[in-house]
Amino acid sequence: QKYLSQPFFVAEQFTGAPGKYVKLSDTIRGFKMLLDGEMDEYSEQDFYMKGSIDEIKK
């Protein structure tokens, strides 16, 4: 659920977090990784306000 909470440009003034562009191909790859169980080791909070799935894996 929190994977979709990426930092949007329109929310920048409210969150203080800079907006980020995420390529469609990166979003699809991230969802595939989620569905395949590759991200099960991460907590839901790890996904909050991240851009691409690669930011979570850092």
Q: Which CATH number belongs to the domain containing residue 47 in this structure? A: 1.10.1140.10
Q: Tell me the DSSP string of the chain.
A: -GGG----GGGHHHH-PPP----HHHHHHHHHHHHTTTTTTS-GGGGTT-SSHHHHT-
Task: Look at the pTM and tell me if it is higher than 0.85.
Answer: no
pLDDT of residue 51: 85
Q: Is the pLDDT of residue 53 over 70?
A: yes
pLDDT of residue 58: 65
pLDDT, tens digit (0-9, with 9 covering 90-100), for 6-44: 778 888 888 888 888 889 999 999 999 999 999 999 999
pLDDT of residue 1: 67
- Number of independent structural domains in the chain: 1
Note whether residue 57 is domain-resident.
Answer: no
- The domain containing residue 42 runs over which residues? 2-52
